[in-house]
Copies of this chain bind each other. A is one copy, B any other.
Amino acid sequence: MDSRAGLAATPGALPYYVAFSQLLGLTVVAMTGAWLGLYRGGIAWEGALQFNVHPLSMVIGLIFLQGDALLVYRVFRNETKRTTKVLHGLLHVFALVIALVGVVAVFDYHRKKGYADLYSLHSWCGLLVLVLYFVQWLVGLSFFLFPGASFSLRSRYRPQHVFFGAAIFLLSVGTALLGLKEALLFKLGAKYSTFEAEGVLANVLGLLLVGFGVTVLYILTRSDWKRPPQAEEQALSMDFKTLTEGDSPGSQ
């Protein structure tokens, strides 16, 4: 490719796919807000509306921000590796913090109402996502952001980090679908089958969630869209596998 020296050319179609993913992601967030506003009375931390903090926070944190964190390496192709890494890590921190607000909201709501916790498939999947997300973030931080890990160790861990990052993101999308379905069936019950407006809106929201997940996965996995190694990384990565100590290229 012509990207080995100097600025890497951005693949022609990539910006359109990224723009489409952002349009989908923002639509999902807006539509979650619209659903809660139109059919669930809006959002508040106190009282019965506290529950509604949960879906909105989870969609912003574990769907939109987590998805965007995965795309950082595709979007920022000419910034230094360190800048891109910090942005990737920060987006994941924001995602985790916002998700934790959503988790606290639902546990607090359950406690006040005397509802049982963690009995449903949605909650089991959600707990799994949170634990895996936190572990992945910690391991990612210690391997890639701290200078301790050797170059060869990083190279061996990187594909695992990417795979599990994508898997956790997809599991987040699946968990959101389960939560949406649960919220619909609890409230609508048999009315769901009469094509109530809320049910149709929520189904469309579900399909858009799937669309966002698929689009992010497509951008992430298309091999000719991967971030090309930059000049200084390229020079350093030439058969340095035996150099098992020292900092990774590009993180000067």
Which of A's residues lie within 8 Å of B, judged by CB? 115-116, 119-122, 124-125, 128, 159, 163, 167, 170-171, 173-174, 177-178, 180-182, 184-186, 192-195, 199, 202-203, 206-207, 210, 214, 217-218, 221-223
Among the listed B120, B203, B222, which residue makes an inter-chain contact with A121, where contact means beta carbons less than 8 Å apart? B203
Number of copies: 2
Q: Complex formed: what's the CA distance from A210 to B194 in Å?
A: 31
Report yes or no: B171 in contact with A210, Cβ–Cβ below 8 A.
Answer: yes
Report yes or no: A206 in contact with B121, Cβ–Cβ below 8 A.
Answer: yes
A126 to chain B minimum Cβ distance, whole angstroms, is 12
Report yes or no: B206 in contact with A125, Cβ–Cβ below 8 A.
Answer: yes
Contacts of A199 in B (CB 8 A): 119-120
Among the listed B167, B174, B186, B214, which residue makes an inter-chain contact with A177, where contact means beta carbons less than 8 Å apart? B174
A-B contact pairs, 24 of them (CB 8 A): A119-B199, A120-B181, A121-B177, A121-B180, A121-B184, A121-B203, A121-B206, A124-B203, A124-B206, A125-B177, A125-B207, A128-B210, A159-B223, A163-B218, A174-B174, A174-B210, A177-B177, A177-B178, A178-B178, A181-B181, A181-B182, A181-B185, A182-B185, A221-B221
